[in-house]
Structure 1
Amino acid sequence: MFVLAILLLIAAVVLFVVGRGRTGSWKLGAALSTVAGILAGAFACFYVVSAYEVGVPVTLGSVGTPLTSGVHFKSPFTDVTSFSTRPVDLDLHDKDTVEVRSAQGGVLYADVTIKWAVVPSKAVALYRLAGSEEAIQERLVVPDSREIIRNVFAKHTSEEGYASAREQIGSEFDTLIKERLAPRGIDVTAVNLRNVKPSNKLQEQIDKKIQQEQATERATEGARTAKAEAERKRIEAEGIAGANKIIERSLSDKVLYNRCLDAYKEAAKSHPVYAVPCGTDSGGTPVIVDGSKS
């Protein structure tokens, strides 16, 4: 704006000099250029900082105090660089996804969203470090975040990275990134680990491991079942053996003799009268059984 004011004033002088011996239109043009140059010069001395922004004034290479929201008077030789203080979403996904390696060397791809904002009181320091809002993200937020993400994943196994410890890993990101960027004047409000995808080679290894674990579980279950069945048969055999011992102790010769008589009486119902050897030894006394009598 200040350069435009100078050019308009130069144009006014030229028009005035050239039009001194001519019609009044030249003088009118010189007058209008003069007014426009003065207005442009006046506007060059004011700068408006929008809401949710902070301005960093630089006068001939010297950095001044940050400008808050509102209208500010400044030197025509002062340039103001504005930084938004609203949170900015940095999405590391698709072509920007972070390639990491686990403690076992497996390759994974992490999609992360980082919400960050410029701390107004640190705007001058950030200007000296980066120079613009875009440069802050590209030179500070992105490389530092990528480094921390890789370091955190390197402390965990592949399984923890894509499944069991994702919440813990996300919490570590949040803490470490905030600690790294806060001293530089960058306020990280949230870090979200949105997705973790294994590489194709790692996915094959994971699938193979799952199949081996399933086979091991099936074998273990089969062994457990066989052991239980063997135990059941052992208990059953011990029960039968115990019962036989009880029966053996309770069967005296007289008891056996009476049972023998009862059996042949039952058989005599179909063969009314016959003789049977029934005694306590092989030469036992024959017994006549008549099934026709009560």
Structure 2
Amino acid sequence: MFVLSILLLIAAVVVFLVGRGRDGGGWKLGAVLSAVGGVLAGLFACVHVVSAYEVGVPVTFGRVGTPLTSGIQFKSPFTEVTSFSTRPVDLNLYDKDVVEVRSSQGGVLYADVTIKWAVVPAKAVALYRLAGSEEAVQERLVLPDSREIVRNVFAKHTSEEGYASAREQIGAEIEDLIKKRLAPRGIDVTAVNLRNVKPSDKLQDQIDKKIQQEQATERSEEGQRTAEAEAERKRIEAEGIANANKIIEKSLSDKVLYNQCLEAYKEAAKANPVYAVPCGTDSGGTPVIVNGSKN
């Protein structure tokens, strides 16, 4: 814009000098219009508008000045202003940019991460010196540091913790470390979202085999517990029968058995034409069975 202003002013002078020796007001009008255009272009070259939620870093002949806040700002026509957005920017690490990590066991996993970050206005000059532009801040500072931290955190956990049991803990640890790493550089990390963790195909096969082995072991242990319980039940039952037999053996004396035999014969005599002689004549003392229907 400043160059255009100079050119217009030079053109106004040339037109004025050429038209001075000639009749007609066209040359003078052209000179006046060129001069006015040159002055306006010069004024615009000294004005810079910083949009809302942005901060500008002025650079004049290689010297970095004080950051410019949002609004109309006056500057030297030789000053270039680089703008940085102060709104949160999303850095999405998924699909082609997914972070490949390794667990403490060496298993390969793929982590999808979204990082929300913003430039701290007071640190815009320092970020300009480190990177040069907002895109460079993300490519040179936020992206490599975030990838490194994600890999380091996953390397301290097992594969199972990485994709299942300790996923929330890992996400919180990553967020805390990224904030601590980038805050001193003037980058405010507002959120880190560990969206998804997927095992590699090889690791998934290992996981499936491990699950199958664990299920087989559980079935084997359950069968063993069932067999042991059945054996214990039979042992208790056998001990109960043995104890009962011992009690019966102790309680059944010869006289008791003899009396029970007599009672049995008496009952049989009621329904059949027989009767029992309670005092037998043989050496064993067996009652004599008499059939009353015969002589």
- 2:202 maps to 201
Residue 2 of structure 1 corresponds to 2
**Where in structure 2 are the equivalents of 1:254-269 lying within 5 Å?**
254-269=255-270
Q: Assess if the C-alpha contact under 8 Å between 2:274 and 2:290 holds in 1.
A: yes
Q: Which runs of 5+ in 2 are unaligned?
A: none
Cα distance change, pair 269–67 in 1 and its aligned pair in 2 (3 A): same
| Alignment size in residue pairs | 291
Aligned equivalents of 1:134, 1:68: Cα separation in 2: 20
- Amino acid in structure 1 at the alignment position of 2:244: A
The TM-score, its normalising length taken from structure 2, stands at 0.93
Instruction: Please report how far the alpha carbon of residue 143 of structure 1 lies from its aligned counterpart in structure 2 after TM superposition.
Output: 0.4
- Three-state SS of the structure 1 residue aligned to 2:235 is helix
1:112-261 aligned within 5 A: 112-261=113-262
Over residues 161-220 of structure 1, what are the superposed CA-to-partner deviations in whole Å (9 max), with x where a residue is unaligned? 000000010011011000100010000011110000111111111101000000000001
Query: 3-state DSSP class of the match of 2:56?
Result: strand
1:53 is matched with 54
Per-residue deviation, 1:291: 8.8
Name the structure 2 match of 1:15.
15
Deviates more, 1:97-106 or 1:8-17: 8-17
CA positional deviation for 1:17 = 3.5
CA deviation map 1:93-113 (0-9, x unaligned) = 111111111111111110001
Q: Report the CA distance between 1:264 and its aligned residue.
A: 2.4
Cα 1:266–1:4 shift into 2, 3 Å? farther
Equivalent position of 1:80 in the other structure: 81
When normalised by structure 1's length, the TM-score is: 0.93
The secondary structure found in structure 2 opposite 1:195 is strand
Cα offset, 1:290, TM superposition: 7.2
CA-atom RMSD in angstroms: 2.1
Equivalent residues of 1:265, 1:291 under 8 A apart = no
The answer to which of 21-30 and 60-69 deviates more is: 21-30
Q: Deviations over 1:54-76 (max 9, x none)?
A: 11110110001111122221111
- Structure-2 change in CA distance of 1:282 and 1:141 (3 Å): farther
SS at match of 2:156: coil
SS in 2 for 1:268: helix
Paired amino acid for 2:189 = V
Once the 2 structures are TM-superposed, how far is the Cα of residue 15 of structure 1 from its aligned partner? 2.7
Structure 1 residues 18, 278: closer, same or farther in 2, change over 3 A?
Answer: farther
How far apart, in 2, do the equivalents of 1:273 and 1:216 lie? Answer: 69
